[in-house]
Amino acid sequence: MKPLKLVFFAMIAIMIFVLWKMFPTEQKTFITNDRMKEIQSIVDNASKGKVQANWQNVAAIAAIEYNIDTVEPYNIEQTTNLFIEKEGNEYKLKNIEKVMDTLNYTDEQKSQVKSYITYLDSFKKGNKSNQYEFIAEIESAAVDNYKEYGILPSITIAQAILESEWGKSGLSQKYNNLFGIKGHNWDGAVASMDTKEFHNQKTKSDFRAYNSIDESIDDHGAFLKENQRYEKHGLFEANTYMEQAQALEDAGYSTAENEKGEKIYSKMLTDIIQQYQLQLIDSNVTSDKL
């Protein structure tokens, strides 16, 4: 009986090993922060000049197709391109269901993909910090602003974060002005506040005052749309946050420079967007739009 028992247990072990190889749940689920950042960067760069793909969706497909720990950048780029299609001169974003159907995924594989996306999203949803609360507070208005004026939500949110210091500036708390827009060519209420200009010399300036932060975000979109220099520098032709951030810098939205005198506003925006994964909002709203 002992040899038979050994054969039986050996067969069980082989079956478990085969199933583990077919569906390596733990291997496909666990991913380090550094790996997430690397995949995110590859997806964002592959999207540039086209349309913003969702790095979580790309990672989920890549986890089925490859080993997520060792998959090559080229394969991540290929997977990103599965989500992007070109119709004439316009790029459009495919949703995850369409991509899975194109790959002829089984119901089991589709379930694995969705579970993996849920896992990746849990990192962000589990964060209850004040920063994420501020993002959640203005996200809906930023999406509406995109639909009205074409400014990507990630850009609007990142600018609000920078200009209002996460909604903690006096101008934003007292007068709902998230972007520091001054009172020029403005028929509404204004707030006179001290500001540092001309070699850090204090001076009084009038700023637009709003009834709500939603009103501030809407006016910010209108402000960019009405100023021709932003259109001239391609702000509204750009479909990804990298391009819109660069267009804002090129149009002179901010004069921020580093110690070498190099413009850094675009990098300041993209750093925030990448750190808080705001581009996911862009890909979701773009997919909804299409």
Place of tokens 């299409």: 290
Better-scored residue on pLDDT, 71 or 287: 71
Cα of first residue to Cα of last residue in the chain, in angstroms, is: 65
Active-site residue flag, 197 = yes
Active-site residue flag, 219 = yes
CA distance 68 to 79: 12
Residue 90: in which H helix or E strand, if any?
strand 90-93
**Cβ atoms of 253 and 232 closer than 8 Å:** no
Q: What local confidence, expressed as pLDDT, does residue 288 receive?
A: 52
Bridging pattern class, strands 84-87 and 90-93: antiparallel
231 conformational bin, left if phi > 0, alpha if psi -120 to 50, beta if neither: alpha
The full set of domains in the chain, from first to last, is: 20-125 (no CATH), 130-289 (1.10.530.10)
CA distance 50 to 53: 9
Task: Identify the active-site residue in 26, 87, 197, 262.
Answer: 197
Q: What local confidence, expressed as pLDDT, does residue 225 receive?
A: 96
Cβ count near 80 (within 10 Å): 24
Q: Which residues pair with 205 in a beta bridge?
A: 193
Is the predicted pLDDT of residue 146 greater than 70, yes or no?
yes
CA nearest 140: which of 224, 225, 213?
213
Tokens of residue 20, six digits = 């583990």
Mean pLDDT score of the chain, rounded to an integer?
88
Q: What local confidence, expressed as pLDDT, does residue 19 receive?
A: 39
Mean pLDDT of 12-40: 62
Task: Identify the active-site residue in 163, 219, 249, 282.
Answer: 219
What is the pTM for the complete model shown? 0.84
